[in-house]
Structure 1
Amino acid sequence: MTAPGPAPEPRQRLHPLTPLLRSFRMFALAVAAISWQGYSNLGTARWLIAVAGVLVVTLTASLISWLTTGYHIVDQELRSYEGLLNRRARAIPLARLQSVEVVRSALARVFGLAELRLEVVGGAKTEAPLAFLTVGQATALRARLLAAATAARGTAPAAATATAAEGEPESDAAPVEEQLLHRVANRDLVISQLLRPQWWFVPVAAVMPIVFFVSEGRISFIGVASTLTAVLGVLLAPIRTVLGDWGFTVAAGGDGLRVRRGALEKRSQTVPLGRVQAVTVTWPWLWRSRGWVRVKMDIAGSAVSIEDNERTGTLLPVGTVSDARRLITETLPGFELTTVSISLAPRRARWLSPLAYRVLGYGRTEHAFVVQQGLITRELTAASLARVQSVRVRQGPLERRLGLASVFVDLAGGRSVTAWHRDVNEARELANDLAEQARAARRH
């Protein structure tokens, strides 16, 4: 007789306060929908009865959702269950896990809770978000999932970690030391958002109603409303960025790269080592006088970011080239930002890109393929050769007439890095060399 295997792990529920937090969101939206017009039509007493009814319904729905939701780890899968009438079960192979993020909204922080978000290979959105858990449960589960994912991929298991968001209590698991790589000064973050070209439109928008009043002799409601809308649109973007990246820190731990940020909503993301497939360094025009750059990383298999509309994560919201170089070395080992040599496009490419051809170029190192573009806002993207999926040479009709071709280097998730408008013979040779380098890098 064979010995029985280990008993399956019991199914876990979310925190008991989860129905309260979920119903608060739905309740606030429902009350906002019926508030003004409903209050005037129903009167105070009926309006309060309607609000109470909405509260009961939302609380009941949230409670039923909590009772029918659970998760547990079986073998090398995270399984989650939800739904009463339509039962849904998800099984996420931990070998496909790319990164795990602990998110703490302002409301969740009041109750000491957190949400766990998982990114997996090929996911179009965050998989199986677990909301809500205590901070200790969330950090301990994150450490366990990352360690199990490392083991499932057949590499040496990473040390189990339990790192909470900065300033938050640790879990019961044994703490693991981490090395702080960089901390962004909040003052630099604010100044960087003030150096946005959008601010130039604020005086213009403010002057327009005054000009209209002087010429017409009256103030237009449409003019004032459009001015306020334009000003709010300019203000909201930098404010959202500052609040989102407030207290930004990057640290290296046994389980990967740890990024923490956020003022109102605390975010703590762990990216396993080796999952970053490309980094993009940006030199905004107004930042160049201060020597500042911005760095974003493309994480293999991560879901599309709602904020950036692409598969990216912020590695450095603002900092010097020296700061960027140090962080990029951690994410793309062997790549040196300050020593890469760029080969510019031939002069005849000006017929296709009259101004930008002066900065279009590419470079190669032992570990990365690098492209440069952008006339006003300069961008340099370095793609890991070990993450290259395919290499293509493409010629448009105008490129054929000019003897040019573009080389597309495809990464996971539909991301491509392109060397635009190269000499056709150079492009074909480059594509063959990159394919060989990519195969060698993957074997290594």
Structure 2
Amino acid sequence: MTAAGPAAAPAVEPSPRAAPAVEPPWRRLDPKLIWADGLRAVLSMLPGVLTMVFLDAGGTMVTWPLLVLAGWGLWGALVDLVRWLTTRYRLTETHLECRAGLLVRSSRSVARERIRTVDVDARLIHRVAGVRRVTIGAGQTSTAMEAALVLDALSRDAAERLRRELTGAPEEEPTAEAREPALAEFDRRWVVYNLFGIWALVCAGGLLFGAQVTLGAFGVDLVGWFRSAVDAWQLGAVGAFGFGFALVVVVGAVGMGTQFFTSQAFFRLTREPGEHGGSVLRTRRGLFRTREAVRDEARTRGATISEPLLWRWLGTTDTSLITTGVFWWSEGVTLLPRGPRRAALRVAAAVLGDDPLTAPLTRHPAAALRRRLVWALWVAAAAALAVAPLGRPAWAVALGVVGPLALGLAFAGYRSLGHAVTDDYLVLRAGAMTRSTSALRRTAVSGVCIRQSPLQRRLGLATVRVSTAAGEGSYAARDLAVAEALPLAVSALPVVTTFREGGSVPGPRIGSGRPAP
């Protein structure tokens, strides 16, 4: 009798291994970039060929600038070729990744939820080749002040597809009937607001210097022509200065007007559907170089209008957004190009859904004017003392020139002061050379600081500064009466603390450089 052995264990089929997730493929830049750079290299050498072959021009003054131009074109083509060979990028469910570099390899990754702006632009050579440059901003810059990620260059379809993927825009453009009307469109009358200014004089200096160097290589002397005109018309020293200044103003106005028209032509500001049911502000502009910027409206915290002093009588106004994740000096904050004040107020109200910038402002006390007058006198005295060793005529002239200018700026700065509190916004206005009115959403205020300098304490004044994670980081109501500073601080941030001798009690903190909790 034999004992039965142990029952055989049933065979267990191995469970199928989970299929690995398929990662999105790496993409390359568009090869038409090489063709565009080849065209640029040919164009950079074309002036030298035409000059030395057909015009029979020679000499160092002609040859070296043309060689530098040709070398610049060849170097740019070589750099772009290396970038095309070494750059790869891909878009995953959570990140946008990019690898680039030949000698020094770099790998950059940007979380999709951190992306703030998507800008698409194309220079003339890009437009001819049918490619675009895409700049993805995520509220960060490197030590070279570059944006979070730049892809130069993608095909027009690839750039548009990437923009839609990152912003959540619909796949198909709405029809003309279903499209919402634009918040603002380019108006040719805006050119008038951009013809004059300090930068126009700088532009004229650059244009005249470049024309003198370029035409001088071909034997044309602009300085000699100017002297001949002055002698022929017998203008004298004063007349020559007036004629020269008028010439500079005209050249600067033409240069600034041309630059504004070419950069802002076809401007269009629209509100379009965005990611997660939100909306984005989309800006398109440019004649030769087209630019397109997309900003998430959910990150908007307010708006600022700036009015330069010399052109305030014309109503010249710059309009910008107060938004998170975008630096205040970048193009992403620009809401409108320089134009009339009425257009700026209308567009700002449409973007904010409210009209806080037209709220009546509370004037600041006369002591604020006295404080500015004291500083103006100190500046004039310092200027006179600086040139006092040169003798009486020098310090008298300095006092006579600097004194009236400083006093005028003091009056202008005082007249710009004002503040208001509406249901949803804190409105602050200040500035002598440029009067800036900022409407900041009260829910965006993260801290309040009330400060007093020795002169302010003597005059019974205080400055209320609110901090925020958007725009410039902080905005101030300068030189308020102390009795007005306390309610303003409480309105901006209701939960504040005052430090007094013997303990702390509810209320704003005065005399502390730290923001209230």
- TM norm structure 2: 0.65
The aligned counterpart of 1:382 is 439
SS of residue paired to 1:85: coil
CA contact (8 A) 1:335 1:368 kept: no
RMSD: 4.5
| 1:187 CA drift (Å) | 2.3
CA contact (8 A) 2:115 2:138 kept: yes
Change (3 A) 1:390 1:199: same
CA contact (8 A) 2:86 2:101 kept: yes
Q: Which amino acid aligns with 2:31?
A: P
Task: Choose the corresponding residue for 1:419, options 462, 467, 477.
Answer: 477
Matching of residue 11 in structure 1 with residue 26 in structure 2:
yes
Q: Which amino acid aligns with 1:189?
A: W
| 1:179 CA drift (Å) | 1.6
Give me the whole-angstrom Cα distance separating, in 2, the residues matched to 1:233 and 1:10. 51
Equivalent positions of 1:39-188 (< 5 A) are: 40=59, 59-123=77-141, 124-147=145-168, 160-161=169-170, 173-176=171-174, 178-188=179-189
CA contact (8 A) 2:201 2:248 kept: no
1:136-167 CA-partner distances (Å, limit 9, x unpaired):
211111111112xxxxxxxxxxxx33xxxxxx
Give me the whole-angstrom Cα distance separating, in 1, the residues matched to 2:324 and 2:291. 20
| 1:416 CA drift (Å) | 2.4
CA contact (8 A) 1:14 1:133 kept: yes
CA contact (8 A) 1:70 1:80 kept: yes
Q: Which has the larger radius of gyration?
A: 2
Q: Which amino acid aligns with 1:104?
A: A
| 1:115 CA drift (Å) | 1.1
Q: Which amino acid aligns with 1:324?
A: A
SS of residue paired to 1:115: strand
Q: Which amino acid aligns with 2:368?
A: A
SS of residue paired to 1:7: coil
| 1:192 CA drift (Å) | 2.4
Equivalent positions of 1:189-268 (< 5 A) are: 189-194=190-195, 214=234, 232-255=251-274, 256-268=280-292
Change (3 A) 1:303 1:358: closer
CA contact (8 A) 1:245 1:317 kept: no
Give me the whole-angstrom Cα distance separating, in 2, the residues matched to 1:53 and 1:317. 37
The aligned counterpart of 2:365 is 346
1:171-218 CA-partner distances (Å, limit 9, x unpaired):
xx3224542233434321223234658889999x99x9666884779x
Change (3 A) 1:325 1:3: farther
Task: Choose the corresponding residue for 2:454, options 394, 397, 402.
Answer: 397
The aligned counterpart of 2:491 is 433
Q: Which amino acid aligns with 2:87?
A: T
Give me the whole-angstrom Cα distance separating, in 2, the residues matched to 1:201 and 1:132. 32
Change (3 A) 1:196 1:186: farther
CA contact (8 A) 1:178 1:252 kept: no
| 1:286 CA drift (Å) | 7.7
Give me the whole-angstrom Cα distance separating, in 1, the residues matched to 2:367 and 2:190. 41
Change (3 A) 1:341 1:54: closer
| 1:281 CA drift (Å) | 2.0
Give me the whole-angstrom Cα distance separating, in 2, the residues matched to 1:74 and 1:275. 23
Change (3 A) 1:192 1:62: closer
| 1:241 CA drift (Å) | 2.2
Task: Choose the corresponding residue for 1:329, options 349, 353, 360.
Answer: 349
| 1:359 CA drift (Å) | 3.0
Give me the whole-angstrom Cα distance separating, in 1, the residues matched to 2:72 and 2:309. 51
1:46-65 CA-partner distances (Å, limit 9, x unpaired):
x9999999877765543332
SS of residue paired to 1:274: helix
More off after superposition, 192-201 vs 3-12: 192-201
| 1:68 CA drift (Å) | 0.9
Change (3 A) 1:260 1:328: same
CA contact (8 A) 2:121 2:132 kept: yes
Q: Which amino acid aligns with 2:150?
A: P
The aligned counterpart of 2:387 is none
SS of residue paired to 1:386: helix
| 1:422 CA drift (Å) | 0.6
Give me the whole-angstrom Cα distance separating, in 2, the residues matched to 1:330 and 1:49. 52
| 1:337 CA drift (Å) | 3.2
Task: Choose the corresponding residue for 2:294, options 270, 279, 282.
Answer: 270
| Residue-pair matches, total | 404
1:338-360 CA-partner distances (Å, limit 9, x unpaired):
3x121111111111234122330
CA contact (8 A) 1:335 1:365 kept: no
CA contact (8 A) 1:120 1:127 kept: yes
CA contact (8 A) 2:140 2:147 kept: no
The aligned counterpart of 1:296 is 320
Change (3 A) 1:367 1:178: farther
1:264-314 CA-partner distances (Å, limit 9, x unpaired):
21111111112233312244568767766442223322246478xxx7313
Change (3 A) 1:386 1:77: farther
| 1:4 CA drift (Å) | 4.1
Give me the whole-angstrom Cα distance separating, in 2, the residues matched to 1:240 and 1:174. 33
Equivalent positions of 1:353-368 (< 5 A) are: 353=372, 354-355=410-411, 356-368=413-425
Change (3 A) 1:35 1:121: farther
Could you list the runs of 5+ residues in structure 1 that have no partner in the other structure? 148-159, 162-172, 439-444
The aligned counterpart of 1:441 is none
Give me the whole-angstrom Cα distance separating, in 2, the residues matched to 1:405 and 1:319. 33
Task: Choose the corresponding residue for 1:279, options 303, 312, 317.
Answer: 303
Give me the whole-angstrom Cα distance separating, in 2, the residues matched to 1:50 and 1:121. 37
Give me the whole-angstrom Cα distance separating, in 2, the residues matched to 1:409 and 1:376. 22
Give me the whole-angstrom Cα distance separating, in 2, the residues matched to 1:435 and 1:31. 64
1:108-129 CA-partner distances (Å, limit 9, x unpaired):
1112221111121233432221
CA contact (8 A) 2:306 2:318 kept: yes
Give me the whole-angstrom Cα distance separating, in 1, the residues matched to 2:198 and 2:69. 45
The aligned counterpart of 2:395 is none
Equivalent positions of 1:21-32 (< 5 A) are: 21-22=36-37
